[in-house]
Amino acid sequence: MIVETLQEQTTGNEDRYRWAVLATCCLSVFMAGLDTTIVNVALPSIQHALHASVSGLQWTIDAYTLVIACQLMLSGSLADRFGRRRVFQIGLATFSLGSLACSLAPTLGWLIAFRGLQAIGGSMLNPVAMSIIANTFTNQAGRAKAIGMWGSVAGLSLASGPVLGGLLVSGLGWRSIFWINIPVGVITIALAKRFVPESRAERPRRLDPPGQVAVIALLGCLTAGIIERAHIGWGSTPIVTLFTVAALALVALVVLESRRHEPLIDMRYFRSVPFSGAALIGVVALATLGGFLFLNTLYLQDVRRYSAFHAGLLTIPMAAMLAVFSTVSGRLVANRGPRLALIMSGGLIAGGAILLIGLSAHTATWYLIVAYLVYGAGAGLVSAPITNTALSGMPRDQAGVAGAIASTFRQTGAAVGVAVTGAIIASSSAGFAHASHAAWSVVAGCGVMVVLLGMVSTGYWALATSERNGARLITEINLTSEGAR
């Protein structure tokens, strides 16, 4: 009896310990996710305070999303090699320090630079937190529940950004949106030190500096070319140079990564049609979210002359639908597979964007809310099927790396969405409302692409390529391991 009681107490203590680890990781993902969307509602205030152009506002958003996209894979490798808790705490400290610096930024240039510093820390949070959760919850059922809760918090953070941002900007000014990260970061660092165990991969992946440089050159030059071409012109030497470097970086990345033993981005994954489809869907779908938040914020505050708080309140329907349908999507994928969720997602994204194509300064509020509800439902449905499709047929020990690559494509999509929609606005001589019609058309087109890519990447032929590639990967990995021994 005494032994059984002690065993029950030990099990209870272990469970509380695990959930404390999960709570710590959820705090980190909430903080990083919040900063993806909270800054959008502050853009008009930043524009007026720091005399920013449209391209300056684009860089304020994209400095964060681009750096995260470039650093995700590297941060995961560093955590596996040098310790997940150590890298996690460094990420929290860097993110908090970057947030403090952003709140003190004297000029737009400094703000953009400090947003990049924030993102370096942010890149060490989500992938490392996922590894910590996977190593803490060893039971499959418990792990699935923990990852589900973690994903729900991630969705909640994205949905909360515009509302919380509007409240802070209206009450305390735009700098306050960065203050909120500092106490949360300090608390999370303390919790990590207290509860998160240190862990490393038994066989950490080698670092890949050439691949990392190629990724940075590709994403950085591509985004810079899209943003700046509205001011300089397509045929100008700087823009041509940027796109040329991006093209060369893409070629170099494919060649280098195909020949490396342990590449940053394993090109073998792309032999699977579902994986390639999920990567493209991630870019296209998240481009619509980045574009939506960027366009909608400027429309509500610059065209409709609403306060940041009022604009945030009007965004609640979209945010609520995004959060609700993120949960619905997980259940739909579990019961019906990813195909239906992707088709519904793309259709709703396109439908919501089509409703916004004819915006004017006098569009009825009820009409805006309907469009926001439709778009939010579509945006919420897309995340779970992307992850499911990306991991389809992958060997279990490759799922983490495959998931990280898919996350990189999603971050890239968010950056490209802001760059493209902002470039359309900046290159037009018409007023914002009229210029946004073309941008909303692009968002609608992206929704249609989600439908088409979803159908192609979830068909019988696509699934067959996934199964063949998974079997081939297992064989190649086993042969490599035997050769290494």
CATH classification at residue 290: 1.20.1250.20
**Residue that finishes a domain, picked among 141, 170, 196:** 196
Residue 391 in any domain: the answer is yes
Residue 201 in any domain: the answer is no
Residue 479 pLDDT > 80: no
pLDDT of res. 138: 67
Helix (H) or strand (E) holding 327: helix 308-336
Measured between alpha carbons, how far is 95 from 178 in angstroms, rounded to an integer?
Answer: 10
Q: How confident is the model at residue 110 (pLDDT cuts 50, 70, 90)?
A: very high
Residue 191 in any domain: the answer is yes
Q: How confident is the model at residue 5 (pLDDT cuts 50, 70, 90)?
A: very low
What are the tokens at 240?
Answer: 């041509």
Q: 296 and 173 share a domain?
A: no
Q: What percent of the chain has pLDDT over 90?
A: 19
Beta-carbon contacts of residue 374 (< 8 Å; ≥ 6 apart): 348, 351, 352, 355
Residue 485 in any domain: the answer is no
Residue 391 pLDDT > 70: no
Residue 6 pLDDT > 60: no
Q: Using alpha carbons only, give the angle 193, 117, 62 rounded to the nearest 5 degrees.
A: 125
CA-based nearest residue to 318, from 293, 341, 294: 293
Least confident of 72-86, 196-210, 282-296, 432-446: 196-210
Predicted model pTM: 0.82
Residue 172 in any domain: the answer is yes
Q: Who has greater pLDDT, 202 or 453?
A: 453
Q: 253 and 352 share a domain?
A: no
Measured between alpha carbons, how far is 402 from 199 in angstroms, rounded to an integer?
Answer: 21
Per-residue buried b or exposed e for 355-367, using 16+ beta carbons within 10 Å of the residue's own CB: bbeebeeebeeee
Q: 323 and 428 share a domain?
A: yes
Q: How confident is the model at residue 378 (pLDDT cuts 50, 70, 90)?
A: very high
pLDDT of res. 10: 43
Residue 437 pLDDT > 70: yes
When mean pLDDT is compared over 33-42, 303-312, 438-447, the highest value belongs to 438-447
Q: How confident is the model at residue 95 (pLDDT cuts 50, 70, 90)?
A: very high
Q: How confident is the model at residue 1 (pLDDT cuts 50, 70, 90)?
A: very low
Average pLDDT of the chain to the nearest whole number: 81
Q: 214 and 159 share a domain?
A: no
Measured between alpha carbons, how far is 485 from 476 in angstroms, rounded to an integer?
Answer: 14
Residue 480 pLDDT > 60: no
pLDDT of res. 424: 85
Q: Who has greater pLDDT, 478 or 168?
A: 168
Burial class, 254, CB count within 10 angstroms (exposed 0-12 / middle 13-18 / buried 19+): middle
Q: 436 and 458 share a domain?
A: yes
Q: What is the pLDDT of residues 398-430, one digit of tens each?
A: 555 666 777 788 888 888 888 888 888 887 777
Residue 267 DSSP symbol: G
Q: How confident is the model at residue 147 (pLDDT cuts 50, 70, 90)?
A: low
Q: 227 and 245 share a domain?
A: yes
Residue 135 pLDDT > 80: no
User: Do residues 391 and 147 lie in contact, with contact meaning Cβ atoms separated by under 8 Å?
Assistant: no
CA-based nearest residue to 229, from 214, 213, 241, 211: 241
Q: How confident is the model at residue 4 (pLDDT cuts 50, 70, 90)?
A: very low
Least confident of 159-173, 258-272, 310-324, 439-453: 258-272
Supply the range of the domain harboring residue 389.
269-478
Residue 483 in any domain: the answer is no
Helix boundaries (H) for 196-307: 209-232, 237-259, 273-298
Q: How confident is the model at residue 451 (pLDDT cuts 50, 70, 90)?
A: very high
Average pLDDT over every residue of 65-94: 84
What are the tokens at 396?
Answer: 């279990």
Residue 144 pLDDT > 70: no
pLDDT of res. 336: 81
Q: 177 and 292 share a domain?
A: no
Q: 254 and 388 share a domain?
A: no
How far is the CA of 30 from the CAs of 9, 80, 131, 151, in angstroms? 31, 22, 16, 10
Helix boundaries (H) for 196-236: 209-232
pLDDT of res. 348: 95
Q: 313 and 176 share a domain?
A: no
Residue 102 pLDDT > 90: yes
Average pLDDT over every residue of 295-309: 87
Task: Report the number of distinct structural domains present in the chain.
Answer: 3
Least confident of 43-47, 85-89, 336-340: 336-340
How many DSSP H helices and E strands does the chain contain?
19, 0
Measured between alpha carbons, how far is 459 from 302 in angstroms, rounded to an integer?
Answer: 45
Residue 204 in any domain: the answer is no
Q: 254 and 297 share a domain?
A: no
Residue 382 in any domain: the answer is yes
Q: Who has greater pLDDT, 255 or 101?
A: 101
Q: Who has greater pLDDT, 32 or 342?
A: 342
Q: 228 and 127 share a domain?
A: no
Residue 272 DSSP symbol: S
Q: 338 and 226 share a domain?
A: no
